[in-house]
A and B are shown apart, each in its own frame.
Chain A
Amino acid sequence: MEQRIKIAIIGGGPAGLAAALGAYESGIKAEDILIIERDSCLGGILNQCIHAGFGLHRFGEELTGPEYAERYIKKVREADIGFITDAMVLALNDNKDITYISPTTGIVHLKAEAVILAMGCRERTRGALNIPGTRPAGIYTAGTAQRFVNIEGYMPGKEVVILGSGDIGLIMARRMTLEGAKVKAVCELMPYSSGLARNIAQCLDDFQIPLMLSHTVVKIHGKERVTGVTIAEVDSSLKPIPDTYKYISCDTLMLSVGLIPENEVSKGADIEIDRVTNGAVVDNFRQTSKSGIFACGNVLHVHDLVDFVSMESELAGRSAAKYVTEGFSGENKSDTVPKGGVRYVVPQKYYGSSIDEKTEFFYRVGKNYRNVSLNVLADGTLILKKKLVRAAPGEMGNISLKGEALDKARKASNLVFTIEEGENV
């Protein structure tokens, strides 16, 4: 089957939903938008994130994941924006041709005028970690375990060790404890957690679950089912220290060792990927290196807060609407450059003249900082200094340029973002 559409959105999670609404609110007709979702319902990962903590920025109140998703799904339904569920995108090329398959439509070749990538991210798996030992049942990524418990109503184990202190791992430590499991330890390879401080407080400290920093799992025991793990402290080069080995009996090992943007489909379109974010290189409109293909949400860079996913995705939706109605001028773009402590900046490029009234940049730092400043330099001249009481790798920061600083940024050929430590911050 052949189909044509103005704006195709790949993924019906928080990013895809907000992007669709962004395009719709910019004047694109509901029937000219199609959201392609591979699960049987819209909402994506939010459906399994039953804990509260979503929406403080967006709605000024604290919602659970399903509630946050429902607000967007309701708007999409009310606007009658097109969506198809149980549909898997098999291919995308740089001509914006999409091939998808679903039980109701079979294989469909979809020609889109603009494409928004909103596929979200996936979890790093054990295979990527290379822990020696057997390969028994009872090893899950934290997100898979979360789906089992919160959507399928099934408990994956009774005695749990969690490797990695990402937010999903911390949330699952509490969730498993509430459901009667014993979480014996959360081991974190690094000397700091990658999760939010509040999650360490309310998910671990509340239930006296030990967070063992600079620790890793060195061996998994058990033939058919996990019977235990050996953990060890690591030295400053992250190598296990031999005489610190300790055995912990458990029937479940959960991994919460990071998330990677899900860019399999993007590769078909030959989109330039940032080696740090593992997401597309985009400009301030969230347009990728291929004209008319946009990216937003966790497929672009892994966010901590869905509120920022929604805001970014609405912007991508508005941009796609602008692209299909009036197009973008072919003017030059300038680069953003992360330096000295700043690991990455999104967007990686920005337009000089058509930049919005206020442009927001997201960044992450490489380690924990206290009382530093984030400096923004346009062609080497300091244009903005933002004081940070704390900055941590687990917390995405944002900084917006407006007024005079933005004027200077417009004229510059590059914008450097860097952390300044010491007396004069």
Chain B
Amino acid sequence: MKKTFTCVVCPIGCELHIEFDPEDISPEQIKVSGNSCPRGEKYAKSEIVNPERTLTSTVKLNSKILPVLPVKTDKPISKDKIFDAMHIINGLIVSAPVNAGNVICKDFINKGVNLVACRTVSE
């Protein structure tokens, strides 16, 4: 089976050409071309085996300065879990002070993935 998609790992956006056997999607069996760097090959394989994305959003914030706080997952999560993740995010409330990098929610969606603050809000 053949597939073509854009690498989203960096802004260059290489067009990746993937050839694989749908019966056997072990990473070694997947052939990738069109990538300008190894990250593109890794991305192409994960796109076939288990597509993942880093999720960014905002959570409610108790603060004198800002009503919402930007957050992100510190590792990519499964693409098909994104809306489950949004559901949890929309129920979270954080209070200032908060520092960029603070963990807002540990083992978020997957074990080992944390939701972290992206901005420092002092009060």
Contact A52 to B72, CB < 8 A, known contacts A196-B11, A201-B5? yes
B120 & A151 in contact (Cβ 8 Å cutoff) = no
In this assembly, does A70 line the interface, its C-beta being within 8 Å of a C-beta of chain B?
yes
Chain B contacts to A: CB under 8 angstroms? 5-11, 13, 15, 53-58, 60, 65-68, 70, 72, 79, 82-83, 86, 100, 118-120
Report the Cα distance A206→B83, complex, angstroms. 12
Contact A51 to B56, CB < 8 A, known contacts A198-B8, A202-B8? yes
Would you give the shortest CB distance from A356 to chain B, in whole angstroms? 25
Contact A200 to B56, CB < 8 A, known contacts A67-B100, A70-B100, A305-B11? no
In this assembly, does A152 line the interface, its C-beta being within 8 Å of a C-beta of chain B?
yes
Contact A67 to B119, CB < 8 A, known contacts A52-B72, A196-B11? yes
Would you give the shortest CB distance from A279 to chain B, in whole angstroms? 21
A198 & B100 in contact (Cβ 8 Å cutoff) = no
Contact of B11 among A56, A149, A152 (CB under 8 A): A56
In this assembly, does A95 line the interface, its C-beta being within 8 Å of a C-beta of chain B?
no
A200 & B86 in contact (Cβ 8 Å cutoff) = no
A interface residue count range (under 10 / 10 to 19 / 20 to 34 / 35 or more) = 20 to 34
Minimum-distance CB pairs A-B, first 5: A197-B13, A153-B68, A50-B70, A201-B6, A66-B119
Contacts of B65 in A (CB 8 A): 41
Would you give the shortest CB distance from A306 to chain B, in whole angstroms? 10
A52 & B5 in contact (Cβ 8 Å cutoff) = no
The proximity string for A residues 29-70 relative to B, scoring 1 for CB distances below 8 Å and 0 otherwise, is 000000000000100000100111100100000101111001
Contacts of A196 in B (CB 8 A): 11, 13
Report the Cα distance A206→B81, complex, angstroms. 13
Would you give the shortest CB distance from B78 to chain A, in whole angstroms? 12
In this assembly, does A334 line the interface, its C-beta being within 8 Å of a C-beta of chain B?
no
Contact A47 to B54, CB < 8 A, known contacts A151-B66, A153-B60, A197-B6? no
In this assembly, does A179 line the interface, its C-beta being within 8 Å of a C-beta of chain B?
yes
Would you give the shortest CB distance from A392 to chain B, in whole angstroms? 9
Contacts of B56 in A (CB 8 A): 50-52, 64
Would you give the shortest CB distance from A413 to chain B, in whole angstroms? 34
- A residues 285-314 touching B (CB-CB < 8 Å): 304-305
Contacts of B10 in A (CB 8 A): 56, 62, 198
Contact A202 to B86, CB < 8 A, known contacts A50-B118, A64-B72, A151-B68? no
Report the Cα distance A190→B9, complex, angstroms. 26
Contact A179 to B5, CB < 8 A, known contacts A51-B56, A66-B70? no
Contacts of A64 in B (CB 8 A): 56, 70, 72, 118
Contact of B118 among A66, A153, A180, A198 (CB under 8 A): A66
Q: List 25 A-B contacts (CB under 8 A).
A: A51-B56, A53-B11, A56-B11, A62-B54, A64-B56, A64-B70, A64-B118, A66-B119, A67-B118, A70-B100, A70-B119, A150-B58, A151-B66, A151-B67, A151-B68, A178-B83, A178-B86, A179-B57, A180-B86, A196-B11, A197-B13, A198-B13, A200-B6, A202-B53, A305-B11
Report the Cα distance A210→B97, complex, angstroms. 41
Contacts of A178 in B (CB 8 A): 55, 57, 82-83, 86
Please name the residue on chain B nearest to A41 by beta carbon: B65
Would you give the shortest CB distance from B15 to chain A, in whole angstroms? 8
Residue picked from A179, A198, A205, most chain B C-beta under 10 Å: A198
B6 & A198 in contact (Cβ 8 Å cutoff) = yes
A50 & B57 in contact (Cβ 8 Å cutoff) = yes
Please name the residue on chain B nearest to A68 by beta carbon: B118
The proximity string for A residues 176-217 relative to B, scoring 1 for CB distances below 8 Å and 0 otherwise, is 001110000000000000001110111001100000000000
Contacts of B86 in A (CB 8 A): 178-180
Please name the residue on chain A nearest to B82 by beta carbon: A178
Would you give the shortest CB distance from B117 to chain A, in whole angstroms? 9
Please name the residue on chain A nearest to B34 by beta carbon: A389
Contacts of A304 in B (CB 8 A): 11
Residue picked from B67, B68, B79, B83, most chain A C-beta under 10 Å: B68
Contacts of A201 in B (CB 8 A): 5-6, 8, 13
Report the Cα distance A52→B65, complex, angstroms. 23
